[in-house]
């Protein structure tokens, strides 16, 4: 197999970052506005806290659809190709987000408003279900072995870039008077999705198919049922899912629940959104820097540092958020977004790609990521809001929930094998951690 040049790898990495950024812009935009206005626009007959829970429920619906999207799109990605499925996911996400921007509210069409909102949210989830795995594989399978973690991290840089774009978009319209923001201002960020779709398709259509996939397809017939191949060795799937619980809990809560909680504790909506935007911007260069360390020292010790740090700092983070101090609020947002989450998150895509065979890698990577997203991200805003109510406004239970998810990530890191030197063109087989494996 001819090794792609650095220029080709760079082009694929940038296209993966931009494509994933567009997908996450649309997906996280929904969560931000669910935290700010959806309870008033689509669930107005409910009490404020119950309306917020209902709005986060619509947010969760997208996460429920993501594993299904991962299975369907991953299946055809393993049989037909990575590139065609990535074009499909991007188009589906962009169109569904644009339609949310023109969706009538409860005041206009009654119960059909929240119903259609949930339907479009599920379509978003189906699209994102196949996006992350495909984008990670396109980069990883182009990159070779030596700097695979670094190049794969460009894809996950799309998450904070998308978060940054969505936060800036909401921040820009949040300066409108409240009546105008509720009437039409919230729609503008969704309508802007169509512009991002055009840019993303232009970049993605110019990228070549994965050389590892093309080489394997020439050598043998694609697996008839890639899911069966994945489930034949379920340990890899279980452990790669566990790796994602810690980072995705922070990603989900810092994009939704924390906004509501900080505003409720006296911080202005604009200051919270600005702090989150700054955090997303800072985390972008942090991700490839951490991935370079994972290429040098191994995936497991780097991820373990972030996971243990999250367990230790879960309670102090919420103490800072609830202290009423602007500096404390900013420090908590930045520490979670720019330090703890990237340290766990940056090596994860490479580990996921390195844990499955080429014939079923799209299915395995997508399913592992989406199960982690569902368990660690999809239910987190609902759980956190309910735990906040259970604690009568205190965040002790919320901090305990985050620490528990990070502890599951610690256990998964401890049990999974180091994959830094894996050859993606060879079959991946599960093996137990061996003595000394923690340092690669």
Encode pLDDT of 336-380 as tens digits: 989 999 999 999 988 988 888 888 899 999 998 888 888 887 788
Q: Is residue 1 part of a domain?
A: no
Domain assignment present for 261: yes
Residue 416 falls within a domain, yes or no? yes
E strand spans, 57-166: none
In a domain, residue 293? The reply is: yes
More confident residue, 247 or 175: 247
Inter-helix orientation angle 234-255/361-372, to 10°? 40
Short-list 221, 220, 214, 231, CA closest to 356? 231
Q: CB–CB of 87/201 below 8 Å?
A: yes
Least confident among 153-167, 206-220, 383-397, 398-412: 206-220
In a domain, 407, yes or no: yes
Q: Which residue has the higher pLDDT, 340 or 262?
A: 340
CATH code of 158's domain: 1.20.1250.20
Sign for the CA dihedral angle at 319, 322, 327, 330 comes to: positive
CA separation for the pair 408, 307 (Å, rounded): 9
Is residue 405 a part of any domain in this protein?
Answer: yes
- Residue 74: pLDDT band (50, 70, 90) is very high
Provide the whole-model pTM: 0.80
User: Residue 76 has which token pair?
Assistant: 């055809």
- Written as six digits, the tokens of 285 are 């260069």
The DSSP code sequence of 277-314 is HHHHHHHHHHHHHHHHHHHHH-HHHHHHHHHHHHHHHH
Average pLDDT, the chain: 84
Task: Report the number of distinct structural domains present in the chain.
Answer: 1
Residue 375: φ, ψ to 5° = -75, -40
Domain assignment present for 47: yes
pLDDT greater than 70 at residue 434: no
* Pair of tokens at residue 378: 């999809």
Give the closest residue to 134 by CA, choosing from 370, 412, 374, 373: 370
Whole-Å CA distances, 224 to 71, 89, 216, 229? 14, 22, 14, 9
Other Cβ atoms within 10 Å of 250 Cβ, number: 28
Model pLDDT, residue 56: 65
Assigned domain for 15 exists: yes
Q: List % helix, strand, coil for the chain (3-state, nearest 5).
A: 80, 0, 20
Q: Which residue has the higher pLDDT, 373 or 285?
A: 285
State the first-to-last Cα distance of the chain, in angstroms, to the nearest integer.
Answer: 27
Indicate if the pLDDT at residue 426 is higher than 70.
Answer: no
**CA distances, 158 to each of 15, 17, 91, 125, 232 (Å):** 10, 4, 17, 17, 32
Q: Check whether 82 has a pLDDT greater than 80.
A: yes
Q: What is the pLDDT of residues 368-423, one digit of tens each?
A: 888 888 888 778 888 888 898 888 888 889 999 999 999 999 999 999 988 888 77
| Token pair belonging to 360 | 């079923």
Q: Which domain holds residue 163?
A: 6-439
């Amino acid at each position: 197999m001819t090794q792609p040049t650095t220029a080709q790898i760079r082009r694929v990495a940038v296209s993966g970052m931009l494509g994933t950024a567009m997908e996450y812009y649309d997906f996280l935009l929904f969560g931000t506005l669910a935290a700010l206005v959806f309870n008033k626009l689509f669930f107005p007959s409910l009490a404020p806290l119950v309306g917020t829970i209902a709005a986060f429920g619509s947010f969760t619906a997208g996460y429920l659809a993501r594993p299904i999207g991962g299975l369907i799109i991953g299946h055809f990605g393993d049989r037909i190709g990575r590139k065609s499925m990535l074009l499909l996911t991007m188009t589906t996400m962009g169109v569904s987000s644009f339609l949310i921007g023109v969706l009538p509210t409860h005041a206009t069409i009654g119960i059909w408003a929240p119903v259609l909102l949930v339907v479009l949210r599920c379509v978003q989830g189906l699209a994102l279900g196949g996006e992350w795995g495909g984008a990670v594989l396109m980069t990883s399978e182009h990159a070779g072995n030596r700097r695979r973690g670094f190049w794969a991290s460009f894809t996950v840089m799309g998450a904070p870039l998308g978060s940054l774009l969505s936060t800036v978009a909401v921040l820009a319209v949040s300066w409108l008077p409240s009546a105008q923001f509720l009437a039409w201002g919230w729609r503008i960020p969704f309508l802007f999705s169509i512009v991002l779709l055009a840019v993303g398709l232009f970049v993605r259509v110019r990228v070549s198919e994965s050389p590892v996939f093309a080489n394997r397809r020439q050598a043998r017939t694609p697996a008839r049922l890639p899911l069966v191949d994945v489930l034949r060795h379920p340990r890899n799937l279980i452990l790669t899912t566990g790796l994602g619980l810690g980072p995705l809990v922070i990603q989900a809560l810092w994009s939704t629940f924390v906004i509501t909680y900080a505003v409720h504790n006296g911080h202005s909506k604009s200051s919270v959104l600005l702090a989150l935007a700054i955090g997303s911007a800072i985390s972008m260069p942090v991700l490839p820097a951490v991935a370079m360390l994972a290429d040098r020292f191994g995936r497991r010790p780097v991820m373990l540092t972030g996971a243990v740090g999250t367990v230790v700092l879960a309670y102090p983070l919420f103490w800072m958020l609830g202290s009423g101090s602007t500096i404390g609020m900013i420090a908590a947002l930045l520490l979670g977004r720019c330090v703890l989450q990237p340290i766990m998150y940056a090596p994860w895509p490479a580990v996921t790609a390195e844990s499955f065979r080429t014939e079923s890698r799209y299915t395995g990577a997508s399913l592992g990521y989406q199960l982690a997203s569902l368990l660690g991200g999809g239910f987190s805003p609902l759980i956190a809001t309910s735990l906040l109510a259970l604690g009568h406004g205190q965040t002790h239970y919320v901090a305990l929930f985050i620490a528990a998810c990070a502890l599951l990530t610690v256990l998964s890191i401890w049990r999974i094998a180091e994959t830094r030197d894996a050859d993606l063109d060879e079959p991946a087989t599960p093996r137990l951690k061996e003595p000394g494996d923690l340092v690669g």
